[in-house]
Amino acid sequence: MSTQDLIERIDAEKAQLNKLKVQHAVSPIENPSIIKKSRRDIARMLTVLRQKNAKN
């Protein structure tokens, strides 16, 4: 996965996370643990991005 693809995916995941947070604030979602999972996925992708940038 290229750096640009990774950045685009991170942006999409962040948008999805914000949407989940708003949805949860308005009315509780069935499985709130997906918010936690989404945050961790974003953190993993950011880690990979930083590792790729450090190599270059």
Give me the tens of pLDDT residue by residue for the chain, a chain 56 residues long: 789 999 999 999 999 999 999 999 999 999 999 999 999 999 999 999 999 998 87
CA distance 47 to 36: 17
Secondary structure class of 15 (helix, strand, coil): helix
DSSP state of 32: T
What pTM was estimated for this model as a whole?
0.88
